[in-house]
Amino acid sequence: MTGPEAGRDDDAMIRPARETAPAAEFQVCDLAAGPPFPDRSLDRVVAALLLHHLAMSEAFAGAGLLIERIVEPQPLPEMEGSSPDEHRRLRREPCVLFLRLVPAAAHRAD
């Protein structure tokens, strides 16, 4: 199993992943640049972030809510000139997600 991870080798995101799956190989890479694997080189692909969000959506559903919209804000282009390193980091590492939740009953088809 191989896990690509955005960030630094010592950062707080990859350390728990290595502790959870010590037999896995983790590669720190710039995910915004595209996958670090050749086409058709993987048998299965699972996004852990997606698994986290699926669990979160189950919790919302249990509370009678549905996710209507998910937005990941991106840094303004002007920020690249004043803070290029921070701009680059914010472009490649998810920082915050905004969720619009609606009552599930409002979306049920009769």
Rounded Cα–Cα distance for residues 101 and 66 (Å): 5
DSSP SS3 for 9: coil
Residues 4/25, Cβ–Cβ less than 8 Å: no
Q: Where are the domains of the chain?
A: 1-45, 56-110
Residues 68/101, Cβ–Cβ less than 8 Å: yes
pLDDT at 78 (0 to 100): 92
| Tens place of pLDDT per residue across the chain (110 aa) | 566 666 555 566 667 777 777 777 777 776 667 667 777 777 766 655 655 666 777 888 889 998 888 888 888 899 999 999 988 888 877 677 788 889 988 765 54
Token pair for 23? 């037999």
